[in-house]
Amino acid sequence: MSLLYIPSTLIPEEGVTWLGVKWRFLPFERVWVAKKQVKKNIEKIVAAVDTSNINDDIKHIGKSTGQTGLPEGGLLASETANPLQMSGSAISKLHRFFSALEGAASGQKISIFHYGDSQIEGDRMTGYIRQRIQQQFGGIGPGFIPAYNVYNTQSFKQKVSPNFKRYTAFWPPKMSSRRYGALLSSATFDVAYSEGPKTPLPTEAWVEIAPSPSAFTRARTYSQVKCYYNSCYAPCSVKIYENDKLIHEDSLVADGGHHVLPLSFGHTPVKLRFVFSSTKSPIFTGFSLDGDVGVAVNNVAMRGSSGHDLSSSDASIFAQMHREANTKLFILQFGGNSVHAFRDSSSVRYYISSLKNRINYIQKLVPDAAIILIGPSDMSRLHDGIFETYPYLPYTVDRMQKMCAENGVVFWNLFAAMGGKNSMPAWVAQGLAGKDYVHFSPRGASIASQYFFEAFGTAYSEWQSKKGGEE
């Protein structure tokens, strides 16, 4: 104990740098009494959430019009402990979105795009939010899906031929043309060449899409399928098979522009295979799987991104795809990939300024759409043998909230909803988050998503009440 006393008193708790190495040692009081793991009591938080009855079968209400995706309706929350935070222009934009949402419930068609980091990867959170919104306001299908999906995703199944290659705006390899479109990812296929003088040969490549039995009920059903592409400069034929039976044969438009190949079904196709053949691959920017009416809720997971890449796609194609999708709301969920790297408050402010610029970019390209920013969840680092909240995470949430208030953006505080500082260890202990102390488990994602939907529903109910009073 005497020997331990010497470095404990000579080395400060934050450590010293000597011979190019950072040296740290336990303060003397820690030698006697170890630091204890803090675990918040989240029993009330978990118990207050009802995630049951989300997978009821689809019901069609109203006249038999042949439209697929009509809403079931129901009661929305009228109060929440974690409301959406908004002011000024954010309120008017959100109310304009609510008006469009009301139209979707009566037979129109709009889109919501959920952009985020790995916290929403594989349709985690988005899948639950989609089911809730589509049950309430109408809509079916998983919406937009990547041309080449590499994540383990619950809402659809996809296979591609070995000669397809994926590009993204947020992770190498990237495209110099930046023609990724709204999903910020794209795919092309490699073509074969003749021996001797290298001449490209007509080469086939295929993409296979099917509904997933593990998806929520609304995402398992769709009647409209579209293929999005651009940069087609050589003749490219396409044959489309349903369950190995040829149902459509066509040629892509070879003028280099952005185009859509649409298909319509009276049922959900069990397995579709798109077979392309060309001497030069077009750029495929995604597929969409949805219905005739209601809301398409689209998941765009960007592993490793902090949101900087939201402006990394060709602006004209990005904006055009959102116009075609009739995008009325962006849900952005970022910050988790930066929190661990913050060393001081100025690095947080720099990040928030950069995120603000990306938000302003979206507002410029899609000016009619509302934006909701979901702040990062609680995340823990291992420090002195215990898991505790990253030091600058609360400050990051605070700065996000202020930035949103100043830029016409709605903010939702996920960090507070799950219990605030040092709440993550309790979520891990209850199996609601993974052992990385960062990502939610499927059940944890459902709870967090339900809290978001309650905040969303409460804001909608308040808008309806005020609108009714004005009338």
pLDDT in tens, 166-204: 999 999 999 999 999 999 999 999 999 998 778 999 999
Asked if 314 and 443 sit in the same domain, the reply is yes
CATH number for the domain that contains residue 150: 2.60.120
Mean pLDDT across the stretch 332-351?
A: 95
Q: Are residue 149 and residue 199 in the same domain, yes or no?
A: yes
Question: Which amino acid is present at 144?
Answer: F
Rg, C-alpha atoms of the chain: 25
Q: Are residues 164 and 221 in the same domain?
A: yes
Q: Quick one: tokens of 422?
A: 């040092």
Q: Look at residues 240, 268, 290 and tell me which one is the last residue of a structural domain.
A: 290
Q: In whole angstroms, how far apart are CA 104 and each of 138, 140, 206? A: 7, 12, 34
Domain boundary among 260, 290, 320: 290
- Rounded (10°) CA dihedral 113, 119, 124, 129: -50
- How would residue 116 be classed by pLDDT, with cut points 50, 70 and 90? very high
> What's the pLDDT at 78?
83
pLDDT band, very low/low/confident/very high, at 213 (cuts 50, 70, 90) = very high
N-term to C-term CA, the chain: 78
Domain check: are 75 and 61 in the same one?
Answer: yes
Average pLDDT in the chain: 91
Is 80 exceeded by the pLDDT of residue 328?
yes
DSSP output for 335-366: -HHHHTT--SHHHHHHHHHHHHHHHHHHHHHS
Q: What is the pLDDT of residue 65?
A: 43
Residues 326, 436 within the same domain:
yes
Q: Looking up tokens 């219905």, which residue turns up?
A: 291
- Are residues 89 and 14 both part of a single domain? no
Q: Are 324 and 101 in contact, with CB atoms under 8 Å apart?
A: no
- How far is Cα 419 from Cα 425, in angstroms, rounded to an integer? 11
Cβ atoms of residues 439 and 433 within 8 Å: yes
Alpha carbon 448 to its chain centroid, in Å, reads 14
What lies within 8 Å, CB to CB, of 393 at 6+ separation is 339, 376, 378, 379, 415, 421
Measured from the Cβ of residue 368, the count of other Cβ atoms closer than 10 Å reads 14
* Domain extent for 26: 2-32
Tell me which range, 78-82, 131-135, 380-384, is most confidently predicted by mean pLDDT: 131-135
Q: Is 157 helix (H, G, I), strand (E, B) or coil?
A: strand
| Residues 101, 15 share a domain | no
Percent of the chain with pLDDT over 70: 94
User: Please, are residues 434 and 380 in contact by the beta-carbon 8 Å criterion?
Assistant: no
Paired residues of 275 in beta bridges: 206, 239
Spatial contact of 289 and 224, defined as CB atoms under 8 Å apart: yes
Least confident of 77-86, 90-99, 168-177, 345-354: 77-86
Which residue type, as a one-letter code, is found at position 267? H
The dihedral through the CA atoms of 351, 352, 353, 359 has a sign that is positive
So what's the pLDDT on residue 460? 95
| Residue 323 CA from chain centroid, whole number | 19
pLDDT at 336: 92
In this structure, what are the phi and psi dihedrals at residue 187, rounded to the nearest 5 degrees? -150, 150
Q: How many structural domains compose the chain?
A: 3
More confident call, 3 vs 243: 243
pLDDT, tens only, 408-465 = 999 999 999 999 999 999 999 999 999 999 999 999 999 999 999 999 999 999 999 9
CATH code assigned at 379: 3.40.50.1110
Backbone angles phi, psi at 394, to 5 degrees: -60, -40
Give yes or no: residues 318 and 346 share one domain: yes
Structure-token match 């043309």, residue found: 177
Instruction: Assess whether 55 and 7 both reside in one domain.
Output: no
**One domain for residues 92 and 130:** yes
Same domain, 467 and 349: yes
Residue 127 and residue 154 in one domain: no
